[in-house]
Structure 1
Amino acid sequence: MDELLNSPMTAAIVACEVGFWVFIAAGLLTRYALRKQKASTVLLALVPVVDLVLLVITVIDLMNGAVPNLTHGLAAVYLGFSVVFGPSMVEWADVRFAHRFAGGPRPEKLYGRAKTRKEWREWGKCVLACAISAGLLLLAIAVVGNSGHAEPLWGWLPRLGTLTGLWFVFGPLWQGIFGSSAPKREASR
């Protein structure tokens, strides 16, 4: 665990995650609070650049002979999920900022079939994110060679399978079994 906490790769992952949300918040505040559309677009366009920076850092670290560890695998998983879920996270935040700062509509709450469709869509995105993460892990394994040093990277593949299974159970399956319909006061609208 000390290896994970004291790793330069952990610092890079944390910095990229913080940068991801800083660029989103700065872009949306610039758009809605300052009303500067072009500046906002530039800031939001930098969000994927953060992912690119993390990818470059990880590849350089591995190509310079770093022994792959848990954080290199975490970087691959972070990148896979950021690529797939990043645009929808920006959209989610945009709707809330628009509501809060620009008089936009209240974020919609989904129920019933609409909620079930959303859960299936989100699970499909999870499958895609895991596939991208697995591809990045396999690429990293190819970069370092399939030696005993690559074991921490191989260890992420079953985790991705477990994550996909759990997301299915607590996402679309759960919604299908225990999903609720709209509250009576909202259903009557």
Structure 2
Amino acid sequence: MKVFVFKPTNEKIGNFKIETFDDIDSAFRTFAQTRDVAPFDYLECSGRSWTVMQRENGLMLAEGRHRRTTQQTLSKSAEVVAESSPKSTSRYPALQTLSLIYRIFAYVTGAVALIIAIFGIATIKRGGGTLIIWGILGGLVGVVTNLAIAEGIKVFIAIEENTRNTSLSSSHHNERDTP
């Protein structure tokens, strides 16, 4: 039977032959003397698998696929996210500027609506009531619309960042742990 040896990233290291599964330990030791084999590399043969484990007396085989500990995986994932985490100010500066412009327009619209309402109060005796209503309604619609657009742009930027971080994290996780 042929035994195939792989790294955790599924890169093939090599192969060797055995007669029975009882021969795998001795055949692996011979193979490991001539090849670069490390802990968590794995072997496959006829639908069975073994993982190379580091023990006090050297490298040993453990039946089945074993992954690195959860603590190591979590710390590596955090490092990948930290390394790949984009800075909001440096990603998509044009969209961030556009969001800021819409936010400024919202404040300006609110200020103009307030001025129109004050002017309407001053001219209430000459039909200023209509001016007050249109000023307040127009101002509210303008402020809400501009703020919604500004926040929508920020949400799209955040979605892109999260998608990229998740993709990088999961691709790194898959490279490390895929059998």
TM-score, normalising length: structure 1: 0.30
**Higher helix proportion (structure 1 or 2):** 1
**Higher strand proportion (structure 1 or 2):** 2
TM-score, normalising length: structure 2: 0.31
Query: Which structure's CA Rg is the greater one?
Result: 2
